[in-house]
Each structure stands twice: as C-alpha cells, then as structure tokens.
Amino acid sequence: MATSVTQYVSNTFTPFLNTVKSSTNSSFFGSSSTGSSSSSSWFGSSTSTSSGSSMSVIGTVTTYVLAVLVIMLFVLIIVHFFITPIFQLRPGGPGIIPVPGADDGVVLWKDGTHPEIVESQLPIQGRSWGYSMILDMFIQNPLQFSNRYRILFSRGAVRKDTPTGSDTFLGMLDTYNLVVALKPDTNDLVVSVLSGTSVTKSEENVVISNVPVQQSFRLGIIVMEKAIEVYLNGTLVKTRKYDYNLLNVTGPIDSALPQESMIALYPLLKIWNRILSTSEMRYAQPSLVTTTPLGALPMPSTSSCSTDSS
C-alpha cells in the first residue's frame, strides 16, 4: 500500500514540480547563457518598466504558493486515509474539515408538502430495514382525539376494511413496515415496526411521552435488522431489540388520512439508505427550523373526538 501511494505521488507531482522549478529559475535568474542576460532578467534592462518586473515577481510568488498548497493538500489526504480522518464527508461524520455536497440523504418532503411517495420513488426501494430517516413535525391540534391510534405517518401500511380493535395497530392495519402515530387521547408519540411471520405478527413499539405541541421537533428513526432506534431532536430516546425477525414489508410512504390531516404538519422528510451513526443523526442537515411553519393553525379552544378513524 505504501509503495503504491509513493509511486502515485511520484508520477503525479514530479512533472508539476519540474515546471515550478523551471519557472522559478527563469523568473528569478533569467537565462544562464550570459551574466548580462541573467542580470537583465531579474533586475530588468534600463528600458524595462516597473510594472513588468512586478508582474514577474507576482507570478513567481503565485507559483510557489500553489505548489505549497498542493503539497499541503496531498499531506492532508495521506493523513485522512492512513492516520486519522481530516475531511468530514458527511454532517456529523468523523473529520474536522466539512466537505460540501457529500451528504447522501434524499429529501422527499419539504416546504410543507407531503404527498404520497410510491415505493419505486423511494431511495430505500425493496428494503424493509437498513435505513435511516428524519421527520420534522409540528403538532398543531392534539385535541382531535379518537378511539384508536391517530396515524400520522406510515410506510407499507394496508388498512383493514373493518377495524377489529381499538388499542393496537394490528386492529387497524393488516400489515406495515413503519408507523408513527399519536395515542388516542394524549400527545404521546408511538413509533412501530412489525415483526413475526405472516401468521403470527408482533408490534415492536417505542413510545415518546409528551412530545411538543405547537412547536416544531425532529423525529429520527433508524430501522435495523435486529433493532430500532428512535431520536428526538437529535438525542437518542430509546433502542428496542425486536422480539422476532422483522417482517419483509415495503410499500408507499403516506401521511395521515384526510379526516386527521389537521393534527400535524410535516416540514421535512429525509431518508438515507444506510444506518446513520449517532453523531450523524444529531447533526443531520438541513437543521430543524424552529419557527412556526407557514400555514400552521393555533391551538383550538375545544376538543373533538372521532369514533372511527379507519
């Protein structure tokens, strides 16, 4: 490895340094054919203008500066790959010098629009685990209660024609990959994935108690093969190990049903087709916008309750 790097450096930089050397000798000392010509090249003839001499000096200094910068960059690259990370290729990743344009996440919802996203348009197409996401949320009306979970976000969810229960997701859904919902009559947020088999299914739930109301917050979710991590505003809230193997369910991403669409707003949805580190989740970009989203409504003065949110 070291031999290859050395050979690469030699092949790459030798022509450049030879050019720098040639340019420098020519600029400072002139032609070596006669002493008079050397003197003429550096100090200029009696008829040369001062501007021409100044341009020659500036060109020489610029050449030296560029050579030094190239060498420094090469040294930093060697240190980055062989000793310790220098360049931060992703927000929150290792390194101290951020490199713009290296973020591999895909923004799917922004500016308050949140249409359904079909499976073929997802960066995680065909994958039921091994992905990460951030969902910025603004709960504007938590007082719209229900006798069932109030589903705000889902992937691969297939609703039952006739709900069979009021206290579980499986009472409302035949299957799903990921669900984010409020409990029926509180502002406790539930993040759920589905494990088990096609015959015996098990909800794997993570509960975040008392999420902010009338205030933007960021929900971070990492769905792994054996566990799920849930973050609130970049801080890890809980890691849950699955009781059974995660079901292989994919499908479209969608927000709430029309009758529950006024409960929350979704300023941003961003997905990565890989597992983010804790640091990457904490510093994920774009940053959370803490101001009230455009079009947000104030808290209603009275509550309401739906007896059928299916």
Q: Check whether residue 195 and residue 260 sit in a common domain.
A: yes
Question: How confident is the model at residue 203, as a pLDDT?
Answer: 98
Q: What is the pLDDT along the chain (310 residues), one digit of tens a residue?
A: 444 444 544 554 455 445 544 544 444 334 444 444 444 444 444 445 566 677 888 888 889 899 889 998 888 888 878 888 777 777 776 777 777 767 899 999 998 899 999 999 999 999 999 999 999 999 999 999 999 999 999 999 999 999 987 789 999 999 999 999 999 999 999 999 999 998 899 999 999 999 999 999 999 999 999 999 999 999 999 999 999 999 999 999 999 999 999 999 999 999 999 999 999 999 999 999 999 998 899 998 888 887 654 4
Kindly write down the DSSP assignment for every residue of the chain, as one continuous string.
-HHHHHHHHHHHHHHHHHHHHHHHHHHHH--SS-HHHHHHHHH--TT--HHHHHHHHHHHHHHHHHHHHHHHHHHHHHHHHHTS--EE-STTSS-SEE-TT----EEEEETTB---B-GGGSTTTT-SSSEEEEEEEEE--TTEEESS-EEEEEES-EE-SS---SSSSTTTEEE-SEEEEE-TTSS-EEEEEEEE-SSSEEEEEEEE-S--SSS-EEEEEEE-SSEEEEEETTEEEEEEE-SSPBP-----EEE--GGGTTSEEEEEEEEESSPPPHHHHHT-SSPP--SPPTTPPPPPSS-EEES---
For residue 157, being part of any structural domain is answered with: yes
For residue 262, being part of any structural domain is answered with: yes
CATH number of the domain where residue 156 is located: 2.60.120.200
Question: How confident is the model at residue 52, as a pLDDT?
Answer: 67
Q: Check whether residue 139 and residue 265 sit in a common domain.
A: yes
For residue 300, being part of any structural domain is answered with: no
Question: How confident is the model at residue 269, as a pLDDT?
Answer: 98
Question: How confident is the model at residue 14, as a pLDDT?
Answer: 53
Q: Check whether residue 130 and residue 75 sit in a common domain.
A: no
Q: Check whether residue 56 and residue 126 sit in a common domain.
A: no
Q: Check whether residue 140 and residue 259 sit in a common domain.
A: yes
For residue 90, being part of any structural domain is answered with: no
Question: How confident is the model at residue 80, as a pLDDT?
Answer: 78
Residues with Cβ < 8 Å from 195, sequence gap 6 or more? 201, 202, 204, 242, 243, 244, 245, 246, 247
How many domains does the structure of the chain reveal? 2
Question: How confident is the model at residue 82, as a pLDDT?
Answer: 83
Question: How confident is the model at residue 232, as a pLDDT?
Answer: 98
Q: Check whether residue 76 and residue 133 sit in a common domain.
A: no
Q: Check whether residue 62 and residue 148 sit in a common domain.
A: no
For residue 18, being part of any structural domain is answered with: yes
Q: Check whether residue 78 and residue 111 sit in a common domain.
A: no
Q: Check whether residue 55 and residue 201 sit in a common domain.
A: no
For residue 280, being part of any structural domain is answered with: yes
Q: Check whether residue 145 and residue 195 sit in a common domain.
A: yes
The amino acid occupying position 124 is I
Q: Which domain holds residue 15?
A: 2-84
Question: How confident is the model at residue 108, as a pLDDT?
Answer: 97
| Whole-structure pTM value | 0.73
For residue 297, being part of any structural domain is answered with: no
pLDDT digits (tens, 9 = 90+) for 153-163: 999 999 999 99
